[in-house]
Chains A and B, each alone.
Chain A
Amino acid sequence: MADEITPERIRLNAEAARVALGADVPARIARAVAPVFTRFTAEKLALPLEVEPSTFLVVQRGERGGE
């Protein structure tokens, strides 16, 4: 499936989040986020299974010895 932000996807996300959007809002959102979304998904990150959000803290705090 192509990585693409569509108004339809945004409309479904908004419904799931119980946020009411005007009829033309999903299209506006799709245009607004397209550059960020496209850049990020183009990378097709393949992260190791062991990597989790708090891996950041492990890397960050590994620097404490240097400062």
Chain B
Amino acid sequence: MTTSDPALLTLTELAAAIRAKQVSSVEITEALLERIAAWQPATNAFVRIEAEEALALARAADEALARGETKGPLHGVPLAHKDMFYSAGKPVGCGTKLREGWIASTTSTAIARLEAAGAFRLGALHMSECAYNPTGHNPYLGHAHNPWDGTRITGGSSSGSGAAVAARLTPAALGSDTGGSIRLPAHFCGVTGLKTTFGRVSRANALPLSFTLDTVGPLARTAEDCALIMAAMSGSDPLDPATDGMPAWNAAKATRSPQGMTIGLPSSYYVDDLEPEVAAALDRALETFAELGVNIVKVDLPDQTLVASAGLIILAVEATSTHIAGLRERPEVYGDWVRARLENGLAYSAIEYLDALRWRGPALAAHLAAIEGVDAVIAPASREVAPTIAATDVGGPNAEATIIAITRFMRPVNFLGLPGLVVPAGQGETGMPIGLQLIGRPFGDETLTALGTAFQSVTDHHKRVPSLP
């Protein structure tokens, strides 16, 4: 252990410290609850704090450990997750008035697997309404605020997950990523986030948005921590057909040396029109990977504007279909922005939607041909650091343009079902974090965490901690 404050330990360090009885589950739970109480007014990261229940579970974990019993690799670790993962008997709000007072009767597979590994809940984290907003605005529950600067967005839709991990209120958190909802908060808040290969993690009993594009994944301090979460929760689940036949996590691949791996730098799109501080972070990261023995090559990707457009059409239509009953019968329960986006899905014809869906396979084949011999593509997560909440306010006429700009580097990854890991890679002039994205091959999640772990072994961007305002 390298710190006297257990809240500052990474998930990997914390789980090991609990097992070694260097810190008790009660001690870490109390430390996190103390930080949550201090940070909640500044971040609005939590929608529910379950202090008494968490402390009771922590005591039970400590007592089990004293008897020589451990549930698994996350024994006694308190975690909090985006408020869209169902836990039987608990309210799950999904950031929307639509689910006001709703009590889940089932538990999400992802949560059940983390609990089987020994983790328990601290509470539930804030999110964008219906997981359908990339900024973190939420007119119903109030906006989430970036812990580095409360006037700025957290990114969304996993807004509370990004803010809470950054402020060290939970060692890790689950999010979902349909169009950047894990990677954008990771970038804007300065944490590590893994958008998983489509099908690697079960989405059963979590709020759906787009069944073709939805994925579940972790946000944490480090890539190593993301791997620890993935080891516990990835793999096939009969409740989610998309996971059928999916491989279990391969820990050996997730920790291998990056020496001799190849990273592809796109020749266009992802490197166009970047803010200088983002471009500089990208250049420094390339130098770092080269020093780690990684080969860097240029890649010419297929037209990403077309790929992104196809993804947006699928998202628009499927989100509208998911919410069609609400849109017909209770449109007033949606905030203006989400209702407008749901209405946008009415624009497309069945032929356009199915053309986009049918093209997904050929588009992935073309992408794989373009990155032959490449283990991962490197790209910025966004062209800029977190903008202010006011500048991205969604009530204006340019809301859709704002969304498209913020999610520019996100959507191709979702459409192609690829994994994407965002790691902190610098900070801008204002001190706001800058994240970079490693885009893998299908099922290359382990390769991404290996690259991320190696990068974080020689950099310290992920160790920066925001100060309480």
Residues of chain A touching chain B, judged by Cβ–Cβ distance below 8 Å, are 5, 9-10, 13-14, 17-21, 25, 28-30, 32-33, 35-37, 39-41, 43, 45, 47, 51-61, 63-64, 66-67
Contacts and interface: CB of A to CB of B under 8 A. Distances in A.
Given A47-B359, A56-B360, A64-B443, A39 B305 contact: yes
Given A35-B404, A45-B359, A56-B361, A29 B346 contact: yes
Contact of A13 (B328, B346, B368, B443): B346
Given A40-B310, A60-B442, A19 B343 contact: yes
Nearest to A12: B346
Given A19-B328, A33-B347, A47-B362, A59 B441 contact: no
Nearest to B212: A53
8 contacts: A10-B346, A32-B344, A33-B400, A36-B313, A36-B404, A51-B359, A55-B360, A67-B446
A39 B306 CA distance: 6
Contacts of B320: 17
Given A36-B313, A52-B358, A43 B198 contact: no
A16 B328 CA distance: 12
Contacts of A61: 245, 442
Interface residues of B, number: 49
A11 to B, nearest CB: 9
B312 interface: yes
A21 B361 contact: no
Interface in B305-319: 305-306, 309-310, 312-313, 316
Q: Which of B357, B361, B444 has the most CB of A within 10 A?
A: B361
A44 to B, nearest CB: 10
Q: Which of B356, B362, B417, B447 has the most CB of A within 10 A?
A: B362
Judged by DSSP, the binding face of B is helix
A37 B365 contact: no
A59 B346 contact: no
A29 B361 contact: no
A37 to B, nearest CB: 7
A59 B347 contact: no
A5 B365 CA distance: 30
B364 A59 contact: yes
Contacts of A19: 324, 327-328, 331, 343, 346
B346 A14 contact: yes
B370 interface: no
A29 B358 contact: no
Given A40-B355, A63-B444, 8 more contacts: A29-B340, A36-B309, A36-B312, A40-B309, A51-B362, A63-B441, A63-B442, A67-B446
B352 interface: yes
Q: Which 7 A-B pairs have CB atoms at the shortest separation, nearest pair first?
A: A55-B361, A67-B443, A32-B400, A56-B361, A56-B360, A40-B309, A63-B442
Contacts of A56: 360-361, 364, 417
Nearest to A38: B309
A47 B358 contact: yes
A29 B306 CA distance: 20
B306 A55 contact: no
Interface string B384-401: 000000000000000110
Contact of B343 (A29, A39, A52, A53): A29
B344 A59 contact: no
A30 B346 CA distance: 10
Interface string B337-358: 0001001101111001011111
Nearest to A28: B340
Contact of B444 (A10, A21, A59, A67): A67
A33 B417 contact: no
B247 interface: yes
A10 B359 CA distance: 24
Contact of A47 (B355, B443, B446): B355
Contact of B355 (A21, A45, A64): A45
B253 interface: yes
A19 B320 CA distance: 11
Contacts of B313: 36-37, 40
Nearest to B355: A45
A59 B361 contact: yes
Nearest to B441: A63
B340 A55 contact: no
Contacts of B399: 32
Contacts of B346: 10, 13-14, 17, 19, 21, 29
A58 B324 CA distance: 30
A4 B447 CA distance: 43
A48 to B, nearest CB: 8
Contacts of B358: 47, 51-53, 55
Contact of B443 (A41, A45, A63): A63
A2 to B, nearest CB: 14
Contact of B347 (A29, A43, A58, A63): A29
